[in-house]
Each structure stands twice: as structure tokens, then as C-alpha cells.
Structure 1
């Protein structure tokens, strides 16, 4: 089913009751309903840690002493999957609380290229309202307009408008993809403060949080302590002109960028979340509320310094402590809450350090994979103007052909581009949109999916390109390291797809399940906890039984 069709069906279901077959004999049934079970949690807390891979979780698990320790006492799925191929921030966040893969959320990447405009191709950001773009401005109006399916918080509000749907994040796309369209309060970090949607005023809590950050930025702060287990990682590694690996996050006065790329951003985001719990009286409602928290610093640190230096070690240590304080704050308020923690995608370290750590077969991508190189070669071959012949937003993922090309010529150019790319030592596979669209939506465990099936889970005809380029395992899609951007993610490989999924609630019978599950299973699992009945077919995911004993949180009799 196309995403637009699904969304139309979902909107219709939300707007009107579903008529049963014998509609003339019985009353219409509601599209979404809620009968809160006795003892259900009063607050659902969904936490996403940007770039928190299953590999990183396993590596640091033995060292955690704070919030992660609590979570590992619950239902632990150490090998969860962002099962799609386009493992970027926006697609990953779009799966967590919608229960849908990017093929249905419409969020196929952090950005895509739109050729429907008369002024020429333009890059569209996943959390941007393009209709409000100002000519010549580099700024944009943040919006969830491209999200094609409802979030769990929206379903909760549809069932009962008294439910509160709140989201905070270090990035606009993190907050908006988890919160959705119908959201009571939403905040994200921008520049040097937390902001909200255009046309809305900051609430008193956000104003107070920004004032605290202003005071910190004005005076600066010293380095974070280096834990003993981080010492072996504390050494400089050269990546091009950039030296990374031994940073300790000193904050120079008046430097908000240093605040953003540090553990301080996550601490501030969690502090704001606690303040919003009080301001909005979350967990004290007649029906359950939802608080979505997206923590972005791990991703910023990973991109700027890689995943194996002292910076990441300090970041995860401080994040563990901040999560512990966050949970303690909820406990102090006497709130009955259930929490899930996962990630939008994983990550990969810099090749320069991996070469020293037993992984010689890793590299940075070469220039021949770029859309510009392909355009030059194929433009000459076919006598076409090379400018904008082939378009992309990076040296991997979706590529688009100029829209005015004859369909037959398009097919030839795609075939030729594929043949050229497959001679590159950096490229694993090239798939045309037709090949991907013809691939059935994958079933079964995501660890067994083919590359075509992973691409299918990311493909949406509204936004996807004419073909997709997948780099070989270990090839980093950054041709040349630069300050703030030495490592990345986005590949179809498991180091980017696998993420932990951790559920916890006081008194639950915990367990550990090493088999693969998906992040799209989170929303239906949380919905079941609070008795929320969603129209059949609205989720790609399935309900996970979160009780390790004889009970069944999915309402299934064992």
C-alpha cells in the first residue's frame, strides 16, 4: 500500500467511525478507542539516543552505574533493529512512535530532492515546511508536515483529548518525528537556546531552562573528568586535517557550539523534560500521557570525533549519570511511569582509527561515486548538459535523474550509472526504484533481510530517488574529514541498523531477549500497556510481550 493511500485511510479512520459489515444492524465502532487497564502506567516515557548503536551499548554496558543499570533490569532487547536501509536521524525517529517503517512514514532520509518546482531542483529537509520557505534565506520553518502517519501520542489524543503529548529534543527532527502533528508542547535546541514551532510562544518552563543555559554559557565550564576505563581511548588520532580522540569538553564562555557537541546538551534536554513534567502535570491525568525525549549529543559527538575516542567514552558516562538523575526525579514525584529507550540508528568509527584496531578493510568513499562525476561521464556519453543530470544529497543513498528526460533514456542512464558504479571498489550494490518497488515488503527477522528488502523498507514513491547506491561494508560516506564531521552513519549494514531497545517499569519481571526485534514494535507494545486500540493495519510492527512471567502485556492469553 502506498504511504499516501495509507495516510488517507488513517486520517479517514481518525475522522469517522469504521462501519462494520452489518452497519445497518449495529452502531458504528470507533476507529480508535481506549479502555485503560487497572494498574496501567500513568505516563509513557519514550527516549531516543541519537547514534546509540547496539555495539556501543554492548561495549559500555559493563561500565554503566546510573540510568542504564535500571533499564537493564527490565525487558532488554540488545539487538533491536532500525530495519530499513536509510539509517539516518529523521527516518529512524519516524519509526519509533509511529510503529511504521519509512516506506509508510514517508521519511525516507534526512533530506531528498524535489523536482516538482519550476525554479529547479531543491533539497527538501525532512522537518521543513517548504511552503513557508523564504527566497534567499538559509533558514527554514520546522514542521512535521512530511510525516504521513500518526504518532502514538496523536492516537492517544484521538482516543481521549485529555491526554498530553509532549516532546523535547536536541534536534527539531527528533522532537517532531516522535511528537507528530497534534502535539501539546514541543521544544528543540537551536543555536543557543530551546525553541518551539513557529507561531507558538515559549512556555515558562522553556524560558527558565534557557535562562539557566545562558548563565552557563556566559561563564563557561571546565573539562569533564576522564573515567579510568576511558584512559586507553584518550589519545589523538589524525583524520585528514582534524585531530580527534582526546577531547574532554571544556566549555569556553560564549561558545554555544561547544555546548551543543557535548554531554551538556543531553543534561539540559532531560532537565527541560523534568520541568515539563511539572508544568504539564504529566502522569497525574485521568488518562495516560506521553513524554518523548530525543537526546542528540551522542550523535553530535560521534560525527565530530568518532565512536572510539575519549570523547565518546565521556559522553556515554555522563549520559548514564544524567539518565539516572532523570529517573530519580520522576521517582521523587511519585509518578507511575513506563519507559522505553532506543536509538534512531547506530554509527561507525573513523577509518583512520579502525586501521589501528584490526579493521584494515575500511576507507572513505572515493570521488567517482558522486552524482557530479556520474553526470560528467554520462552527460558526455549521451550529449546532454551534465549540470543536474544526476542529483544526490551525498555519495550514497538516493540518486535522482533530471525530471525532463524521456523515460526510455532514463532507463538507459540508470543502467549505465549502475554499471559504472559497480566497477568502483567502494560500491556494494545499486538498485533502481523499479527493482525496489517490485520487492515485497520484507517479513521475518530483520537480521536476515536482503539489501533489496532493507531498501524496500525505506522506499516511498513520493520522495525516493530513481536509484539507490549502497556502499560496501566499512566504507564511510565522507570523502574527506573536516572539523565537526569525521564519522557518520546511514548505511544498510548492521552497525548502523542495530540498536538496543530497553523497556522498564517498576515491579516488572525483567528478561533479556537476544533475538532481533524492530523499533516499529515499540508503539504497538506501548499502546497495549495503556489499553489503546488502534485500527488494524495501522502499524508495521507487532506488540511485544514485556512481562517475563506468566502475564502478557499484549492482552493475549497464554
Structure 2
């Protein structure tokens, strides 16, 4: 780690002293797009008095902050969010309807960025690993930029493959963290072999430097009084700070490397790789504007395990704040503060754990998917004869067995409506709509219908789209809590901009949507938005 940090320091010094481009206000030389995985907007502001002066507060104090920003669709999950961010399109167009789904024809599992024709460089590739944007059916703003100016570069980095591949689009380059080795790798979709700067970064084994280090709370115990204490009964193992990296292992290995992701150290490693990418690719150094997308994955893992209400999540937010402050200050030196635009958002929010909601007196719980299917099929059996009429749930939709329906000569519309009613009768289900209703838009204005229609894709989605009640989750998740609903705790995420040459300081309370981000970036770059973008440019506060 010392070797790579020394190399980075030298490069940063050179960038700050000799090669920083002259400031220009015509258009940014570099767009730095950042996503924090699983970061509800409330966590950006809940700890404002504990933030560093130049991390998140760079946006809150000196940038444009949209306080009422939302995703406009219903099934708010990581892949769908990352597909929307830089395309400006929702899942009904991107066709990224979930992290995974079943092929409606074959029933085979499909991973959002799966592609059997591409493999990881230097690493084993498993069947459902993410290796290309083949499943993404629309262009990103980076794709538009590179069509107009092939000299522009688009680099995307993440701890998760989907967090890198989907923002990179079809013409960018994605690098993702390899949990078995602690390295970052791309795939053969993008290149045959890594450029020298990537090889140098990996050869220095920077992930090994965190072995034996502890994730300790930044502040004293009293500072976390508003958050849930450690070691709740419903927490999985390891639900307390401090946490020692690699505990139980005598040397770094796959278990240790994987364990870095749900900690601040995984995010630190990702940001160091981003620094290396900016220097190694000479981003922001000429008249062809570049884009770097950085998705930090750790917060999502922490919130799944312990909830956004936990002390662990509270502290992880503060740890991120300090890491981002250091990264932003390096950007000022590397690129020049008047040469880049900085954007921060998230792919989804988070619901409180059912235990938290129940303690607050809310109607909350966990809905079993397998048990729901069994009950629905039992009820349908009384009306249409015994059979597995509903085969499975796929990306928040129920899939009917059309072959069985045809063989039994059952009226498709009748059994679909009967299944919809039975699905709505489930304790945790709020509403359900059929394929025919979504295609015809016949239920426009009904509860959550517009959001659910935007989550549904005609080629990939199932026959009956459903949404859960507030504070309910599917128990198919192995986590303490999750996301994926149309409710504000899942849809309300940060959208904040910083760039003194283009953007002033101000809070905007008008409701905006994540689909507005890509058209806004396009306007800043002076290029058309992606053809399928659904949003409109955001009302950025003008610079003074």
C-alpha cells in the first residue's frame, strides 16, 4: 500500500503543480459522477452537524441541493437505479427491471449485466457474473458524448459489477472490484488486457494494507444517541463496532477481500482506484470532456445488515464523509476546481427494518414469497383445478404458467384476474396490476400505478406486477432489511451538484427525479441528452 500511495502522491503533486488545465467556464473538462449505494436522502442531512467542512457539506453549503429528489418508478433496486442515473430512462425503457429476473419464455435466471460472451480479465468468470452492458437497451449520456467526440473518455468504477457496467454504458469502460483477489478488473467486452496503470495498481496489492485494521467509531458514544445501538437481537453476526478486518484469518484471502466491501476500507480502496484512473487516463486534461462514474458499494451492505437507523450506518456515513472530503480536495489539485463538475446521488434509499417499524407502532413485517405462491395456487386450484398456475416471482412480478393454462384450456384473462386478486389479498401486498392493465394504461391514477408501469418492461417483466405495503419486505432477502418499493424511504435519494464555474449555492425544494440528472449533465456538456431520456434539465442555482 505504501508503494501505491507514494505513486499516487507523486502523480497528484505533478497534477497539482504542472498539468492542471487553465480554468474554463464554457463546459467542464471532467464530469465526476458519484453514487452511494443504498443512501437515502435522510442520511445526507440527519448528521449535518457532525459532517466535515468539505465532504457532503461541499454540496450542502456551496452547491445546489435538491431536497425532494426521487426515483419515479416502483422497484427501487441497485441495477435499476444505476441504469437510470446516466440514461435518464426508467426500467420500462432500459429493460433493467431488477438485479436479476427470469426469462419469461425459458424461466432461466438472467443477471442484469450477465453476458456469456465476455469474461473477467485475469479472473474466473461464473455463469451469472456481470461482464457487459448487453442487457441495457438504451444509451447513456457517456454514449452520446463518445459518439460526438470519440476522444472523450468514459470510465466507471464500483465495488459491484452492475455499479460500474451500467453507468459506463455501451461505449465507456467499466472496472469492478474482484472479491476473490482484492483487485479491480475489467472484462473482455471492453479490452483484451488491462492498461499499465491498472496492472501497476493491482500489483501493489493495496487491498492487503487493510488486513488487521479496525473500523472504529469516529466519534464518542454520545454522538450516536439518535441511532440504534449496536448488537440488536435481530442483527446478523458482527453487528457492533469496532470491526477488525480479516479477523479469524492469518493472511489476506477471498473471505477477507470480500469482507472489505461492507466497511469504509472498501470505499477507500475504490476511491484510490478512481484517483489512479484519473491520472492514468489523463482525465480532464484536454478539450475533449471526460466522465468518470464512481459507485461506492459499502453503504448498501451495511444498511442491509443493520438498517439505516443503526449506529454502524450512522458511523459509515461519517466515514464516507471524511473519505469524500479527501477525494474532493485531491480533485481540486488534480483537475482544478473550475474545470470539473461533481455530482452525487444514490441508486435507492432504504426501508427501516421491520423490528424498528414495529417498535414505532407501525404495521410492518416480512412477506414470504414462496408461501404467497403456495396460497395463491391453492386458491386458484379451487376455481380452475389443481396446478402450479403461478410459477414464480420475478423482479416484483408474478409469472403465470401459460403452457399449463393453454393445455387446460383455461381463459387467460380470467385466471390472471383471479391471481391478481389473490396476490392483493396477501398481508404484505399493497396493490397488483396485470399485464393488460399496464399495457393499456387503463388504471392510470390508481395507487402506485404510474410508478409500477415505469418498472415494468413488456419483454422481460411478468404477468402481474405488485408493490408491497409500507414497511413490509419480502423474506426471500437474507438481509435484516431491504429496499425495492415505491415508498418515499426507498425513492427519496440525494441529488446534489457542485462546480463553482457553473453552479452556485442553493437549496431547491421542488420535487425532481433521478431521470433529470442525465439531461442536466448533457446540458452542461453542450450535447443532446440520450434519445430515451424521460427527464428534463434540473434548475441549477447559477454561479455568483
Partner residue, 2:5? none
CA displacement 1:51-93 (0-9 Å, x = unmatched): 1111222322332114101111211002211110010001111
Extract unaligned runs of 5+ from structure 2. Answer: 1-23, 120-124
Partner residue, 1:237? 232
Alignment partners' CA distance in 2, 1:67 and 1:97: 23
Give yes or no for contact 1:518–1:541 (8 Å, CA) kept in 2: yes
Alignment CA distance shift 1:81-1:310 (3 Å):
same
Alignment partners' CA distance in 2, 1:99 and 1:141: 22
Structure 1 residue 375 displacement after superposition? 3.5
Establish whether residue 247 from structure 1 lines up as the match of residue 241 from structure 2. yes
Residues 154-169 of structure 1: pairs in structure 2 closer than 5 A: 154-169=143-158
Establish whether residue 348 from structure 1 lines up as the match of residue 351 from structure 2. yes
Alignment partners' CA distance in 2, 1:131 and 1:175: 18
For residue 258 of structure 1, give the secondary structure of its aligned residue in structure 2.
helix
Alignment CA distance shift 1:534-1:456 (3 Å):
same
Partner residue, 1:462? 459
Which of these residues, 349, 363, 366, is aligned with residue 365 of structure 2?
363
Partner residue, 1:30? none
Partner residue, 2:518? 523
Give yes or no for contact 2:340–2:499 (8 Å, CA) kept in 1: yes
**TM-score, structure 1 length as denominator?**
0.82
Alignment partners' CA distance in 1, 2:473 and 2:540: 37
Which of these residues, 450, 454, 458, is aligned with residue 453 of structure 1?
450
Alignment partners' CA distance in 2, 1:363 and 1:69: 36
Alignment partners' CA distance in 2, 1:168 and 1:371: 38
Structure 1 residue 130 displacement after superposition? 5.2
Give yes or no for contact 1:525–1:543 (8 Å, CA) kept in 2: yes
Alignment partners' CA distance in 2, 1:148 and 1:323: 32
Alignment CA distance shift 1:204-1:168 (3 Å):
same
Partner residue, 1:399? 398
Bigger mean CA offset, 228-237 vs 373-382: 373-382
Alignment partners' CA distance in 1, 2:267 and 2:344: 14
Give yes or no for contact 1:245–1:308 (8 Å, CA) kept in 2: no
Partner residue, 2:40? 53
Alignment partners' CA distance in 2, 1:317 and 1:68: 9
Partner residue, 1:179? 168
Establish whether residue 77 from structure 1 lines up as the match of residue 66 from structure 2. yes
Give yes or no for contact 2:429–2:469 (8 Å, CA) kept in 1: yes
Which of these residues, 190, 194, 207, is aligned with residue 184 of structure 2?
194
Partner residue, 1:315? 316
Partner residue, 1:128? 114
Bigger mean CA offset, 376-385 vs 303-312: 376-385
Alignment CA distance shift 1:534-1:259 (3 Å):
closer
Structure 1 residue 422 displacement after superposition? 2.5
Alignment CA distance shift 1:450-1:548 (3 Å):
farther
For residue 154 of structure 1, give the secondary structure of its aligned residue in structure 2.
helix
Alignment partners' CA distance in 2, 1:345 and 1:473: 15
CA displacement 1:144-172 (0-9 Å, x = unmatched): 10111111111110001000010001111
Alignment partners' CA distance in 1, 2:289 and 2:470: 43
Partner residue, 1:22? none
Give yes or no for contact 1:341–1:503 (8 Å, CA) kept in 2: yes
Which of these residues, 473, 492, 504, is aligned with residue 498 of structure 1?
492
Structure 1 residue 349 displacement after superposition? 2.2
Give yes or no for contact 2:367–2:427 (8 Å, CA) kept in 1: no
Establish whether residue 67 from structure 1 lines up as the match of residue 55 from structure 2. yes
Alignment CA distance shift 1:69-1:214 (3 Å):
closer
Runs of 4+ in 1 over 6 A off after TM superposition: none
Partner residue, 2:3? none
For residue 361 of structure 1, give the secondary structure of its aligned residue in structure 2.
coil
Bigger mean CA offset, 302-311 vs 403-412: 403-412
Structure 1 residue 200 displacement after superposition? 3.5
Alignment partners' CA distance in 1, 2:539 and 2:443: 24
Structure 1 residue 434 displacement after superposition? 1.4
Partner residue, 2:15? none
Structure 1 residue 374 displacement after superposition? 2.8
For residue 301 of structure 1, give the secondary structure of its aligned residue in structure 2.
helix
Alignment partners' CA distance in 1, 2:427 and 2:521: 44
CA displacement 1:101-160 (0-9 Å, x = unmatched): 11111111111111434xxx1111111115679xx9655352110111111111110001
Which of these residues, 466, 475, 478, is aligned with residue 478 of structure 1?
475
Structure 1 residue 322 displacement after superposition? 0.9
Alignment CA distance shift 1:226-1:334 (3 Å):
closer
Give yes or no for contact 2:112–2:130 (8 Å, CA) kept in 1: no
Partner residue, 2:142? 153
Alignment partners' CA distance in 2, 1:71 and 1:369: 46
Which of these residues, 186, 198, 204, is aligned with residue 206 of structure 1?
198
Give yes or no for contact 1:375–1:390 (8 Å, CA) kept in 2: no
Structure 1 residue 321 displacement after superposition? 0.8
Alignment partners' CA distance in 1, 2:25 and 2:506: 23
Alignment CA distance shift 1:476-1:247 (3 Å):
farther
For residue 155 of structure 2, give the secondary structure of its aligned residue in structure 1.
strand
Bigger mean CA offset, 320-329 vs 188-197: 188-197
Alignment partners' CA distance in 2, 1:440 and 1:158: 39
Backbone CA RMSD of aligned residues: 2.8
Establish whether residue 513 from structure 1 lines up as the match of residue 508 from structure 2. yes
Bigger mean CA offset, 274-283 vs 459-468: 459-468
Give yes or no for contact 1:237–1:244 (8 Å, CA) kept in 2: no
Alignment CA distance shift 1:441-1:333 (3 Å):
farther
Give yes or no for contact 1:238–1:244 (8 Å, CA) kept in 2: no
Alignment partners' CA distance in 2, 1:478 and 1:144: 29
Alignment CA distance shift 1:284-1:544 (3 Å):
same
